[in-house]
Amino acid sequence: MPAYLDSILVAHRAAAAADGRDVAAAVEAARAHVASPTGAPATGAPRDFVAALVGGRADRGMAVISEIKRRSPSKGDLDPDLDPALVAAEYEAGGASCLSVLTDEAFFGGCRADLEAARAACGLPVLRKDFTVSALDVCDARIMGADAVLLIVAALDDAELASLSDLARALGLAALVEVHDELELERALAVGADLVGVNQRDLRTFEVDRERALRMGERMPEGVVAVAESGIRDAADVSRLADAGYSAVLVGEALVRSADRTSAVDGLLGAAT
């Protein structure tokens, strides 16, 4: 099986090493503003990602983080010509609580402009879905207008995980800390993670284990907002995950491929209500 995560991380760490920007200056710039819809600096606080998930869970039995993704390394093209603004509006109309937007270009066909356009087109908090490996990645997430950043435990050592979590908090960003097993969950909790995603997809092989989230749900401590990710196909999957204690699901491929994305989001929520 191809080691997808390894090749992706090599590329992202090389880009981080070649980035000559001053970290302290980038942090100050990120504190000062988020990106406006036109890309120009504009003051303003991030939208509350965690509160939106908790509210969605209370209102409809489950919150949905709907993903905007053009392609993936394992599936190839999903919808390479999608309009991120239109898709964001469709997701919001269907009852999504938050958005996830891929900004990785080389492997997923995304970009910063996709996130900016999607956020400007709706009122939902937005996760920058990317492979965060440096402080500059976190700063860029806020500057482009993201309200949350993804930290993949399997991609970071303990020192990186702690420092990037702290930086996200300092910049007012939620950190969705992604785990795959019990050891990674322990590492996430050790840095104070209160928003934990369980990815059912093995990022090295991209194979999906649809029982993983159910097993890991039993390990979640009280007070942690748990998100199930990957391999979620329909309302029956959502219902099982709601029963297992998850507050939210992150759904990409099933929604992106849908002919009626608004109805697809609403349909996922119907079973959990």
Whole-angstrom distance, CA of residue 198 vs CA of residue 91: 22
pTM for the model stands at: 0.91
Whether residue 159 is predicted with pLDDT greater than 80 in this model: the reply is: yes
List pLDDT tens digits, range 102-150: 999 999 999 999 999 999 999 999 999 999 999 999 999 999 999 999 9
Domain 4-35+46-270 sits in CATH 3.90.700.10 = no
Whole-angstrom distance, CA of residue 183 vs CA of residue 166: 21
Half-sphere exposure of 114 (CA within 13 A, CB side): 25
Whether residue 272 is predicted with pLDDT greater than 50 in this model: the reply is: no
Stretch (H or E) spanning 175: strand 174-179
As a whole number of Å, the end-to-end CA separation of the chain is 39
Whether residue 1 is predicted with pLDDT greater than 80 in this model: the reply is: no
Domain ranges in the chain? 4-35+46-270
Spatial CA neighbour of 152 closest among 126, 186, 188: 188
Q: What is the pLDDT of residue 168?
A: 97
DSSP reduced 3-state for 67: strand
List pLDDT tens digits, range 177-229: 999 999 999 999 999 999 999 998 876 677 888 888 999 998 999 999 999 99
Residues marked active site are found at 67, 69, 129, 178, 199, 229-230
Whole-angstrom distance, CA of residue 56 vs CA of residue 251: 15
